[in-house]
Amino acid sequence: MDILKTKADMQAWSARKKKQGKTISFVPTMGYLHKGHVSLLDIGKPLGDELVLSIFVNPTQFGPNEDLDAYPSNIQNDLNLAQQAGVTAVFLPDKTEMYGPGYQTHVSLDLLPQYLCGRSRPVHFGGVATVVTKLFNIVMPDVAVFGKKDFQQLAIIRQMVKDLDFNIKIIGGEIIREKDGLAMSSRNAYLTPAQRASAVCLSQAIQLLKQKVAQGVRSVPDLAREAKALILSFDQTRVDYIELCDPKTLEPVETVQAETLVAMAVQVGKSRLIDNAVIKTA
């Protein structure tokens, strides 16, 4: 497994592989890998001759009062997991390598970032779109795998790839969960035992909404009220948003549709956790 720390080395590595006729599969991450990340590597492995993992805690996708400085890291463990998953190259740049002095170009989308997490994290998706564009130009993958855990991010990447004509196939991986339903996340490491117990509220709220929809409830305000009440019955929780929306446009809906995205962000103690599911009526 090769470890590349500069953009020039990574680009040269990919160019060499491409010259040999090899295809490249790519999984971008911020590190502190868990089974959710590994599932994306497992999806990516058979889709290319080479499998590239990037680990970069991208500062431009964090707001001023967010957890950039506290973001967990364990590079040695990440490299071990990468090796076991069959990664052939790890791109491990630092902040100044990615954004040199005088950096001034940003990628932004008009509509998708206005919804859901974009409301409380106004700079987030611009940072994501910009860094993913850069990573695509550096790694030059044929296929890239992203998790549905970050549903809005995946929608934004798909739109960006279409709009900017990237010749890259985007694959979405299912959400990997702990036994009690909590979606795996590097941020779960921040939770105290009491907060960890409360963190199941998101997946339980999703289950409640699925049941209610199966029972025939269609009113979004009623569903959102019930989900919110369930979440607030857990200690140390604060609801950022619970929304039901169109899975393609992310526009809020008033009534449950044939396919409806339910998405939520909940502050549990100091950690902001997200979860989602697409609910089908048929």
Residues of the shown chain interacting with ligand AMP in the complex, contacts defined by CB under 6 A: 29-30, 36-37, 39-40, 146-147, 149-150, 173, 175-176, 183-186
Q: Which is nearer to ligand AMP, 42 or 246 (CB)?
A: 42
40-71 burial code (b ≥16 CB/10 A, e <16): bbbbbbebbebbbbbbbbbebbbeeeeeeeeb
CB of 26 to ligand AMP, least distance (A): 11
Dist. CA 273–CA 271, nearest whole Å: 6
CB of 242 to ligand AMP, least distance (A): 19
Residue with smaller CB distance to ligand AMP, 99 or 146: 146
Closest distance between ligand AMP and the C-beta of residue 171, in Å? Answer: 10
In total, the chain counts a number of residues equal to 282
Of these residues, 34, 37, 106, 124, which one is catalytic? 37
For the bound state, the minimum distance from the C-beta of residue 164 to ligand AMP, rounded and expressed in Å, comes to 19
Q: 152: which DSSP letter? A: H
Residue at token pair 């919804």: 115
Nearer to ligand AMP, 126 or 220 (CB): 126
Task: Please state, in angstroms and as integers, the Cα–Cα distance from residue 60 to each residue in 112, 126, 132, 186, 240, following that order.
Answer: 18, 8, 11, 18, 21
Task: Determine contact, residues 18/50, Cβ cutoff 8 Å.
Answer: no
d(CA 152, CA 117): 8
Nearer to ligand AMP, 115 or 146 (CB): 146
CA 49 remoteness from chain centre: 24
Task: Determine contact, residues 239/221, Cβ cutoff 8 Å.
Answer: no
Least distance to ligand AMP, CB of residue 282, Å: 26
Q: How far apart are CA 5 and CA 65, in angstroms?
A: 28
C-beta of 186: minimal distance to ligand AMP in Å? 5
37 is catalytic: yes
3-state SS of the chain: helix, strand, coil percent to 5?
45, 20, 35
How many Å apart are CA 25 and CA 116, to the nearest integer? Answer: 29
162/225 with CB nearer ligand AMP: 162
The nearer residue to ligand AMP, 152 or 198, going by C-beta atoms, is 152
| Positions marked active-site | 37
